[in-house]
Amino acid sequence: MNIYKLSQKEVTGYDTFDSMVVIAENEEKARKIHPEIHHNEKVIIKDNKWQIDDGSGWTFEAGHWVSYENRNKIKIELLGIANIKIERLITASFWAG
């Protein structure tokens, strides 16, 4: 698995993520990881949008980051290799307002 830094300038201002570091198999899979992950929630792709699933049967749209359709506009850099076999978010930078 690879360690990638993803950054974006499409969605800016307060209450947005500007970058994150993830572990993923390749760049395309890294671009499908959303930085907005909360305790016991997961981000899924539904109706070609990122949705947050909290396990209650309801989902709501994940925001604060580039839209799923524009994920190709995310800048991506390979940082290194990880000995972890699970794709995951390591850390994210959020501009709170």
Q: β-strand 16-24 against 2-7: which pairing, if any? A: antiparallel
Please tell me whether residue 24 adopts helix, strand or coil conformation. strand
Model-level pTM?
0.86
* Contact between 80 and 3 (Cβ < 8 Å): yes
d(CA 53, CA 2): 26
pLDDT at position 5: 98
pLDDT at position 57: 79
Maximum distance among all Cα pairs of the chain, rounded to whole angstroms: 37
List pLDDT tens digits, range 10-67: 999 999 999 999 999 999 999 999 998 766 777 888 888 888 888 887 887 778 999 9
List pLDDT tens digits, range 69-85: 999 999 999 999 999 99
Q: Which residue has the higher pLDDT, 62 or 88?
A: 88
pLDDT at position 39: 65
